[in-house]
Amino acid sequence: MSKKLFSVGLDIGSSKVSVCIGTVSDGNIDILGLGKATCNGVRKGVVVDVEETVTAVSTALEEAERMCDCPVESVVVGIGGPHIESTISRGVIAVSKNDGEISEADAMRVIEAARAVPNQPNREVLHVIPKTFTVDGQVGIADPVGMSGIRLEVDTNVISGSLAAIKNVSRCASQAGLAISDMVFSPLATSKIMLSKQQKEIGSILIDIGAGTTSYTVFEEGELVHCGVLSIGSGHITNDIAIGLRTNINLAEIIKIKYGYASPEKIDDKEEIDLSTFDKSETGTASVKYIAEIIEARLNEIFILIRDQLREINREGMLPAGVILTGGGAKLEGMAEMVKDILRLPTQIGKPILPLTGVVDNLNDPVYATSAGLMVWGIESGNVSVPKKMAVPELGGMVGKVRNIFKKFLP
Ligand SMILES: Nc1ncnc2c1ncn2[C@@H]1O[C@H](COP(=O)(O)OP(=O)(O)OP(=O)(O)O)[C@@H](O)[C@H]1O
Ligand SMILES: [Mg+2]
């Protein structure tokens, strides 16, 4: 791997950092390297210990770099956490040309106008996502460029985050020796690789159950309708088990992964685990049904909150392409059936929807969904790295080519 353009996604999660390096090869997205490292420097999606996080970023990066022998200089980094907010904002401008033909520059200008949400000193706008345009009062226009009009309006979703949280993510990347080519609200990147064009068109919700957060993105008619982050994740289930069984956290995590089930009704009353099998310092037994009851209570809380969000936007039970689950928490047995019952929607565990080659087996593990999504985001937006030896003028042309190749795949 010497002269190919590649993109790198960096996901700084509440339990682990993951890195995905990818490129385009023979018309496919080729996954070149993956790396993962446990991280104790992030709580509820927010960096709370820069030093710990930098160590985890460096370890994950080294693992991915070793796999493909390509030194990484810049990354597309994800950001999450409950400080992220999505608001609807409207931009309005007068069309600049005398003949009233709307240009690409007008479209960019009106989107920029929507970015100017009331000044919030401690927040930074991450994305301004246009939903629909209005030209001289005619609503529901997807692309106004080339149309005639005098007054151009746009409704957008503005996604912003806390300035301090954003700065801390930047600090971690730069202290690990990385430049940031783009910072992306993580669930948007995850949806690039987990939701097909059709699922986004028909109506679907992607739910990422992480360790410290559960984030969701709702799509309809190809557009982002709603998104958000709850500060509860699968790590809370581990804590609940530790409290319920009075065991240490490490044992609670093992029990969750090995014996955890989302609904207690399916478990035999008599099924018991001998705790000393996993930890010699522990004594006694635990009922598998009781563990499932603990898990069910927390999952109910999470998915009722999501149902409330869907109710607020009038989509409760109304997304025909249903629920797609990802994130490490989605690996819990019985999860899809439970979510289906609570949200009253078809539910499946997500798998990458793009044609992928390379070290793809690992990509079926949802732990890599976000870093892979960020990598794809980088290629789509032209945020690719090029080995230093390559002449700089080639870059623009190459990036353009990569973007064109990817247009075929990207949802
Ligand atoms: N087989 C499994 N069964 C149940 N839970 C699992 C399984 N494997 C991993 N998990 C849980 O998934 C969580 C980690 O998921 P993930 O890696 O997506 O989180 P993260 O990205 O670090 O966190 P966040 O997105 O909240 O910042 C942990 O709480 C872990 O216990
Ligand atoms: Mg995550």
DSSP per-residue codes, 108-138: HHHHHHHH--S--TTEEEEEEEEEEEEETTE
Task: Establish if 213 belongs to a structural domain.
Answer: no
Asked, for residue 203, whether it belongs to a domain, the answer is no
Q: What DSSP string runs through 236-301?
A: HHHHHHHHHHT--HHHHHHHHHHH-BS-GGGS-TT-EEEGGGT-TT--SEEEHHHHHHHHHHHHHH
Q: Would you say residue 2 lies in a domain?
A: no
Structure tokens belonging to residue 254: 């093992």
Write the residue with the smallest CA distance to atom 5 of ligand 1. Answer: 329
Taking the centre of ligand 1 as the mean of its atom positions, its distance from the CA of residue 56, in whole angstroms, is 16
How many folded domains does the chain comprise? 3
The residue type found at 144 is P
Give dist(CA 10, CA 17) in Å, integer.
7
Q: Do 172 and 60 fall within a single domain? A: yes
In a domain, 214, yes or no: no
CATH number of domain containing 134: 3.30.1490.110
Low-confidence ranges of the chain (pLDDT < 50): 1-2, 387-411
CA of 15 to the centre of ligand 1 (A): 7
Q: Residues enclosing ligand 1, CB less than 6 A?
A: 13-16, 45, 80, 210-213, 233-235, 238, 253, 256-257, 260, 327-329, 331-332, 367
Residues 268 and 156 in one domain: no
Rounded to whole angstroms, the Cα distance separating 231 from 243 reads 19
Calculate how far, in angstroms, residue 404's C-alpha sits from the geometric centre of ligand 1: 35
Among the three residues 141, 161, 181, which one is the final residue of a domain in this structure? 161
Nearest Cα residue to atom 25 of ligand 1? 210
330 CA → ligand 1 middle, Å: 8
Does this model's pTM top 0.85? My answer is yes
Distance 52 CA to ligand 1 centre (A): 19
Expressed as residue numbers, the domain containing 287 is: 223-349
Closest listed residue to residue 102, CA positions, set 164, 161, 45, 145: 145
15 and 151, same structural domain? no
Residues 77 and 177 in one domain: yes
CA distance 234 to 328: 8
Asked if residue 51 lies in contact with residue 36, where contact means CB atoms within 8 angstroms, the answer is no
Residue 80 CA: nearest ligand 1 atom is 27
74, part of any domain: yes
Residues 247, 174 share a domain? no
Tell me, yes or no, whether 218 lies in a domain: no
Look at residue 228 and tell me if it is in a domain: yes
Distance of CA 210 from the midpoint of ligand 1 (Å): 5
Residues 39 and 175 placed together within one structural domain of the fold: yes
Alpha-carbon distance of 113 to 92, in angstroms, equals 7
* Degrees, nearest 5: CA angle 111-113-119: 125
Q: What does the block give as tokens for 403?
A: 């973007």
Closest listed ligand to the CA of 327: 1
pLDDT at 398: 39
Ligand nearest to the CA of 335: 1
Q: Output the six-digit token pair for 391.
A: 């002449």
**201, part of any domain:** no
- The DSSP H or E segment spanning 185 is strand 179-185
Closest ligand to 253 CA? 1
pLDDT digits (tens, 9 = 90+) for 168-198: 999 999 999 999 999 999 999 999 999 999 9
Q: Which of 39, 169, 216, 234 to mutate to test the pocket of ligand 1 (most atoms within 8 A of CB)?
A: 234
For residues 399, 402, 407 and 411, what is the CA-based torsion angle, rounded to 10 degrees? -100
Give the span between the Cα atoms of 405 and 130, in whole angstroms.
24
Residues 100 and 78 in one domain: no
Report the separation in Å between the CA atom of 312 and the middle of ligand 1, taken as the mean of its atom positions: 27
**What ligand 1 atom has the least distance to the C-alpha of 256?**
4
**Per-residue pLDDT tens digits for 377-393:** 999 887 665 543 333 33
Among residues 349, 371, 397, the one where a domain terminates is 349
Looking at residue 394, its pLDDT comes to: 34
b/e sequence 323-362, b meaning 16+ C-beta within 10 Å: bbbbbbbbbbbbbbebbeebbebebeebebbbebebbbee
Q: Clarify whether residues 185 and 53 are in a common domain.
A: yes
What value does the CA radius of gyration of the chain take, rounded to a whole number of Å?
23
**pLDDT value at residue 405:** 39
Strands 356-358 and 28-38: parallel
Tell me which of 303, 331, 349 is where a domain ends.
349
Residues in the chain: 411
- The conformation of residue 72, written as its DSSP 8-state character, comes to -
Distance from residue 320's CA to the centre of ligand 2 (Å): 25
Pick from 48, 57, 349, 367 the residue to mutate for probing ligand 1's pocket: most ligand atoms within 8 Å of its CB. Answer: 367
Clarify whether residues 132 and 109 are in a common domain: yes
Pocket test for ligand 1, best of 36, 331, 362 (most atoms within 8 A of CB): 331
Query: Are 290 and 316 a contacting pair, CB within 8 Å?
Result: no
Are 295 and 237 spatial neighbours (Cβ–Cβ below 8 Å)? yes
Tokens 């706008």, located at residue: 125
Write the CATH number for 25.
3.30.420.40
277 and 331 together in one domain? yes
My answer on whether 389 and 256 are in the same domain is no
Same domain, residue pair 270 and 343: yes
